[in-house]
Chains A and B, each alone.
Chain A
């Protein structure tokens, strides 16, 4: 069975600084997707960034980038120039590729605090 582990329940970062959230996963599949979702107090789960396992290049979306280490099964999220609006729960997630049962498996989350 696939699992996703986030070992940092909470993190804090000063506004405008850089922070890295960690995630490891376990799977025997070769084709899959990895995600970082943001869940602010409004509860709506928002996709931050997505990485296809077959792509060696790390995904980037503006201030958000990932460090995808496939052999180590590690998938960290770096947030640069942190802003107050970045404060939220962040979930690392996994999804098998090319499969009819395309459920998303989530980690337990990391609560990110932004210090003004």
Chain B
């Protein structure tokens, strides 16, 4: 069964600190993996997309990694800001129309 798991379920950090969110998947075949940021009451916004051959991709303070062999991805947030408080969702796509969503990690950045 195609599944995406994320950890931790929730995370609280102080402003300025770094954090890493994890995503494990069993989706096959694999086309790409995206990390989305969803602010409360808003739709998800794409942060990064990674294909099979990519190991690392950065978008400002966000850096995603992908290990296609172990089927794991991580999202590292550097120098966190209050505006980073949101849910971060890992979504894996096969070559068809199947997008498998992880349950998300709820990040709270405190001043």
Q: Do A and B bind each other?
A: no
* Chain A interfacial positions (CB closer than 8 Å to B): none
* Chain B interfacial positions (CB closer than 8 Å to A): none
